[in-house]
Amino acid sequence: MEQKKLGPSDLDVPSICLGGNVYGWTLSEADTLHQLDHALDVGLNFIDTADVYSRWVPGHQGGESETLIGKWFANTGRRKEVILATKVGISMGEGKKGLSARYIAEAVDASLGRLQTDYIDLYQAHEDDPETSLEETLGAFNKLVKAGKVRFIGASNYKGARLAEAIETSRKNGLASYVSLQPHYNLVERQPFESDLLPVVEKYGLGVIPYFSLASGFLTGKYTRGSEPSASARGGMVKKYFNDHGFAVVDALVEIAKKHRSTPARVALAWLMDQPGITAPIASATNDRQFEDLAASTTLELDQDDIRRLCEVSAPVAA
C-alpha cells in the first residue's frame, strides 16, 4: 500500500486512515477487535480516534473508542505496528474541554491510560479554542513532544486564518508546530476546505486527513432518488444531501464504479486521494464489505476523464 508523508514530518502513513469513531458505538467490542486484526493484515495501520468518542451515545462517558483500541494493544502487543492519532478539546463533561495547558496535560494522560500506551503518534486539537491563546496551547503541546508522550501534533476544524496564525506562532516561539489538518471534506462538501484551508495547507506543506470522506454513507450509493434516510443519527446527517446536486454526484459515482467494476465508495475515496493536499482520507467501516471498500480504494486508479467528471458534477453550487 502506498505510503505518504504526513506533512513536514518523518511520519509515513498509508493512503487511507481508519476511523475509530464507530468503535464501541455502531461496531461492537468483538467486531472492533476483529477489524483491528484484519486492518493490520491488509496494511491499514493508520487509526484515528478521539477522547470524546462516543460520548454522544446514551450511557457513554467518552473514551469508549480509545479504551477498545487500548484493549486490542494489550491483547495483541502490536502497538508499534500502528500509527495512532487521537484528539483533545471537545467537552468530556464537568468542565473537561478546551485547549488550556492545564487541561491538555490532564487529557493526554487520560488518553494514554485508556489506550494502554506511553505515546501518541499524532495528537490533534479537535477544534479551536478561542478562549485560550495559541502560545499557551502550542506551549502545552510542545511539552508533550519533549516528554515523548506525543510524536507530532495536528489541528482539526480550524479556519484558515487561525491555522496560519498557529503555525506562525510555533515558528516565532520555537514550539512544536501542527504538521496536519483534519477538515470536513468530500465530494458533496468541498467548501470551505478548497477556498479557505487549501491555500494554507499548500503554503505550509501540511498533511490533510479529511473526515466524513463518504459523507456519512451518502457517497456509497446506498441512497437513491425517492429513498428516505434512516431514522438513525447517520440518517439525519445525510438528509441535507437529498437534492438534485447530491444525487447527480451519486449517479456519476455509480456509473464510474460500473466502468471500473468497482463500488461508488471506492471511487469516492479514490477521487479524494487524488485531490491537491490530501494525504489520507478517514473512513469508518461497520462490516466486512465496507472494510473491503476502504482497502480496495487504495489501488483503484481513476483516469483523467473520471476525475474531471467528478470535479464538474460536484462543483459547489452558488448560493
In sequence order, the 6+-apart residues with CB closer than 8 A to the CB of 221 are 250, 253, 254, 257, 263, 264, 265
Q: How far is CA 314 from the centre of its chain?
A: 21
**Angle subtended by helix axes 304-313 and 264-273, to nearest 10:** 90
Among candidate residues 155, 38, 62, the one with its CA nearest the CA of residue 114: 62
d(CA 240, CA 233): 13
C-alpha cell recorded at residue 254: 455509480
The alpha-helical segments, DSSP class H, found in the chain are 29-41, 64-76, 101-115, 134-147, 160-173, 198-204, 233-238, 244-259, 264-273, 288-297, 304-313
Is 211 assigned a catalytic role? no
* Residue of 23, 53, 123, 178 marked catalytic: 53
- Residues 12 and 2: their CA atoms lie apart, in Å, by 10
Question: CA 206, CA 279: separation in Å to the nearest integer?
Answer: 9
Active-site residues, by number, are: 53
